[in-house]
Structure 1
Amino acid sequence: MSLIAFLGAVEIGLLFGLVALGVFISFRILNFPDLTVDGSLPLGAGVAATCIVGGWNPYLGTLLAFFAGCAAGLVTAWLNVKLKILHLLASILTMIALFSINLRVMGRPNIALLGEDTVFTPFEGLGLPFYWMNPLVLLVVVILAKIALDRFLLSEVGLAMRATGANQRMARAQGINTGRMTLMGIALSNGLVAFAGALFAQLQGGADITMGVGVIVIGLAAVILGEAVMSTRTIILATIACVVGSIIYRLFVSLALNADFIGLQAQDLKLITAVLVVAAMTLPGMRRKLRIKKITAGQGVRK
């Protein structure tokens, strides 16, 4: 793998680290299977691209994309909390609706941003090649987002949200408004994903209506891989694991697609994703079995 290919994989891994953080909030903190992210990522991309093409400040467009994602998450949570629709079905309904909404926002299936100013444009004057500059900028963004999320989850409201995901009945007994926590958490989750979509569109030079297909699988793969390779005993470690897992996932994908002797091609990306997710899900169990065998063997030696 060349240096440019490696940095490109790290760049996309950092970008989808934001998606992994969003998926972490819904799946791990709130125990809420949320498929809305497949629609909220292109929503963020479409809002940002539409604003930029319309002459808006790209930073303002990116901020609006974040709030648009929050609104999408609120709809999913509202369907579940207020209308008592099963969380999985509520997220599917919102995801389906977002396809039409995204077309309305963009006005057409795709928007090109070639030649337009983006949030990365001011950093081009630093003199660094784009394949170094973009990963560095994204690294700073991801670190800031991770620190902000850590501080939130360790706050009183964050603890209430974590209690809601752990045991809603007990949380309600402690006076926590679990419905409000669910609304807030799913909104924040999809806001992060839409924010990642806005940055992705500006990196790739355009937004497309289909760019969100399979995003939930990538986010879950990043979370599971991160949990498989490092400890997640604390919130700080868990959020680091999400970003690390996302980078590892993209590096594995890049390695597989660049390994000519394997014979994989670009159309095999979904197959690689499925294999990586299966490997990540089975790895912790295999490690646990090996640990038990070692303990048992050690006890047998003592006897």
Structure 2
Amino acid sequence: MTLNEIMMSFEIGGIYGIAALGIYLTLRVIDFPDLTCDGSFVLGAASSGILIKNGMNPWTSLSIAMVAGGLAGAATGIIHTKFRVTNLLSGILVGFMLYSINLRVMGGIPNISLMNRDTIFSSFPIVQILGIGLMSCAAITYLLMTDFGLGLSSIGQNKRLAKNSGVSISFMTITCLALSNSIIALSGALFSQHQGFSDVGSGIGTVMTGLASVMIGEKMLPYRSAIFRTISCLTGSILYRIFVSFALHGDYLGLNTSDLNLVTGLMILTVMYTPRKNYAKT
């Protein structure tokens, strides 16, 4: 691997690390296996791409992309809590519907080119990516340490006890899903600006990539402190991208780009099989 390929792994890993942070909120904090993320990732990319194409400031487009992702997550939460649809099916339904919505957002075309358009990235995109990633980690860490964050965690630990303690399960679930998918949409918007295009199929595999990142990060930083739990998502995503790049560039393994899903699945299985240590402090 060349230095440029390693740097690209860091950049893409940082972008998907933000998505992994959103997946962590639903998967680990409230114990909600949300499958909306594939659609909300593309929704963020589509929203940011079409706005930039129409002349909007790229930073402003990130904020609007987050709002759009938050609405998608809230829709999943409402379907689950108000219509009594199971968590898996509610995410599948919203993600399924988002495909059509994303196409409409993109003007009915499957991809949008951002070539010769201003984006947030300068000559050193790794600076912006890691900066946004670390700020996202800091914001989520602060949230988890507040009373609201403790209420979210209580839902994931014991819903009945949380409800008896006065926690609104429905409100907390909807809010967490909205927050999670807004972060994932931010990741999608950053991805579109970094790659110079928005594609309706770019979100395929986001949930698996995020899951792999979360699990690798937990193995590398097995601490219970909120700051380590959020940083581990970013770290795990970068390591995941580096591992995959090495695997696909290893001629002795005989792998190529089409084997990416196979490598990802095997990596997740390996991480799940590896014993995990828990640290109560630090």
Partner of 2:52: 52
Partner of 2:146: 155
Q: Is the 8 A contact 1:14 1:243 kept in 2?
A: yes
CA distance in 2, matches of 1:267, 1:200: 21
Partner of 1:111: 112
CA distance in 2, matches of 1:69, 1:232: 30
CA distance in 1, matches of 2:223, 2:258: 33
Q: Percent identity?
A: 39
| Greater gyration radius | 1
CA distance in 2, matches of 1:137, 1:255: 25
RMSD after superposition: 1.2
Q: What amino acid does structure 1 have at the position aligned with 2:173?
A: T
CA distance in 1, matches of 2:104, 2:223: 41
Q: What amino acid does structure 2 have at the position aligned with 1:106?
A: M
Q: What amino acid does structure 2 have at the position aligned with 1:89?
A: L
Say yes or no: does 1:184 pair with 2:168.
no
TM-score (norm 2): 0.96
Q: Is the 8 A contact 1:232 1:241 kept in 2?
A: no
Aligned positions of 1:177-256 closer than 5 A = 177-256=168-247
TM-score (norm 1): 0.90
* Unmatched 5+ stretches in structure 1: 125-129, 289-303
Does 229-238 or 138-147 show the bigger shift? 229-238
Residue 169 of structure 1: SS of its match in structure 2? helix
Query: How many Å apart are 1:31 and its aligned residue?
Result: 0.2
Query: How many Å apart are 1:233 and its aligned residue?
Result: 1.3
Residue 247 of structure 2: SS of its match in structure 1? helix
Query: How many Å apart are 1:53 and its aligned residue?
Result: 0.5
Partner of 1:127: none
Partner of 1:24: 24
CA distance in 1, matches of 2:170, 2:97: 23
Partner of 2:102: 102
Residue 284 of structure 1: SS of its match in structure 2? coil
CA distance in 2, matches of 1:258, 1:65: 34
Residue 207 of structure 1: SS of its match in structure 2? strand
Query: How many Å apart are 1:62 and its aligned residue?
Result: 1.0
Partner of 2:82: 82
1:142 pairs with 129, 133, 136, which one?
133
Partner of 2:6: 6
Number of aligned residues = 277
CA distance in 1, matches of 2:73, 2:40: 8
CA distance in 2, matches of 1:103, 1:110: 9
Residue 112 of structure 2: SS of its match in structure 1? strand
Query: How many Å apart are 1:83 and its aligned residue?
Result: 0.7
Q: Deviations over 1:142-178 (max 9, x none)?
A: 1111001100111111111111111111011111111
Residue 16 of structure 2: SS of its match in structure 1? helix
Q: Deviations over 1:25-70 (max 9, x none)?
A: 0000010000000000000000000000011111111110001000
Partner of 2:71: 71
Q: What amino acid does structure 2 have at the position aligned with 1:102?
A: N
Query: How many Å apart are 1:119 and its aligned residue?
Result: 1.5
